[in-house]
Amino acid sequence: MKYILEACVGNYREGKKAEELGADRIELCDNLLEGGTTPSYGTILLAKKNIKCDINVIIRPRGGNFIYSDEEFQIMKQDIQICKNIGVNGVVIGILNSKNKIDFNRTKELVDLCKPLSVTFHMAFDEIEDKKEAIEELISLGINRILTKGGTESAFHNIKTLKDLVEYAGKKIIILPGGGVNKYNYKKLAEEILAQEYHGSKIVGELI
């Protein structure tokens, strides 16, 4: 079976290498040690020019939690507009409220702004306790996929949860497992949870 492999990359050079190694899509980030933040305008522009596989850009103004100030929210909107102007495939977002639930109104505003780009909700999802309720909200918002470990540890610690999420989501939204998933183990994970897409910084091999 052919799976879609999304390589998480921390700069342009890694993105180019991931494409050469066979990635179907890249998640373009900066500062992976912080869990990924929005890359520079120049990085996005050069990636779009020279990388032919799909590019999804993370929209995250800083590391840390996923509760953002009004100023940070404005930054996110400006970065989405830049991505639309450049013409990448999609963006990766995630906003929570003080109760660690989806910030519905702000997320809706971003999704509306993103159109027609593809939208992934990132691992902020893993902070949410009621994941099925969150899935229903993200479906109603028009999110295309959810990047998740299934919990706070790696995907392989949460196989049962991931399997349940994939089954629950069905064809309504894509569950994209990540977190400790790489070139050598994603097929083993796929046998258990039956997802069609997989994410990791080493999903097509070493990028350095």
Please say whether the structural domain 4-200 has been given the CATH code 3.20.20.380: yes
Q: Is the pTM of this model over 0.75?
A: yes
Q: How many CA atoms lie within 13 A of 78 on its CB side?
A: 10
pLDDT in tens, 122-181: 999 999 999 999 999 999 999 999 999 999 899 999 999 999 999 999 999 999 999 999
Domain boundaries, the chain: 4-200
pLDDT in tens, 90-118: 999 999 999 999 999 999 999 999 999 99
Q: How far is CA 111 from CA 46, 85, 121, 165, 191, in A?
A: 25, 16, 10, 22, 32
Four-residue CA torsion sign, 76, 81, 82, 84: positive
208: part of which helix (H) or strand (E)? Answer: none
pLDDT band for position 208 (cuts 50, 70, 90) = confident
Of 143, 133, 193, give the one whose Cα is nearest residue 164: 193
The C-alpha atoms of residue 183 and residue 180 are separated, in whole angstroms, by 10
pLDDT band for position 204 (cuts 50, 70, 90) = very high
The C-alpha atoms of residue 57 and residue 88 are separated, in whole angstroms, by 8
What was the pLDDT predicted at 1? 76
* Residues whose CB is less than 8 angstroms from the CB of residue 132 and which lie 6 or more positions away in sequence, other chains included: 165, 168
Distance, C-alpha 198 to centroid of its chain = 10
185 pLDDT above the threshold of 90: yes
pLDDT in tens, 41-93: 999 999 999 999 999 999 999 999 999 999 999 999 999 999 999 999 999 99
What was the pLDDT predicted at 172? 97
pLDDT band for position 198 (cuts 50, 70, 90) = very high
